[in-house]
Structure 1
């Protein structure tokens, strides 16, 4: 877990929205995020970790970086490019390779949501008096 320890001591600035820790922010106002979520196979390695504010971490959840960026105005193209550059530098991989990993993460998330929607529909058909919601 040395990787997360290293990230913990980076500057308290959100890699996604740029928020800096304010004087009234508590110790838990910044988190370490897995850029490619672990649920999608993302590794617990330094190149896949960034420091983010609690709001961005909560909002991103297990979403792909592409999905999160598409719905988060403060996550600008410049910040996105900085995240990619950091991943490239820390992993020793090319930007093209990192971009491919992020694309696969996004495709995984989309496929998961499609299959979840189908499953919920099937469950609702099999139980006519019970409504199961997809989230």
Structure 2
């Protein structure tokens, strides 16, 4: 099981072509943001020695995501890149402050691949 201690976001709105990543709650609320919202994403070691993905957000992204996560504590949310689910963690607490951690079954290349996907996310091409 993958749990979300902290995550990311910027604008509560439907995903658009300029959005790089999207977080979707079970009720359909969507939080989309561009690449400028992410200051960094890297693999780090968790308190138990397992791999985690540590993410740092801009101040504006942290504020908006804090409001989103407060509304969805205890729920499983999806982190999407171009309509593909990267990870679907359960929100453990409201996420404020802009320093986030995704932890769980992220062993080996899983954590590295997730960190890279988040760090290098660019706007998605949309069929028009």
TM-score strictly above 0.5: no
Whichever structure has more helix as a proportion of its residues is 1
TM-score under structure 1 length normalisation: 0.31
> What is the TM-score of this pair, normalised by structure 2?
0.32
Question: Relative contact order (C-alpha < 8 Å, sep 6+): which is higher?
Answer: 2
Considering fraction of residues, name the structure with more strand: 2
The structure whose Rg is larger is 1
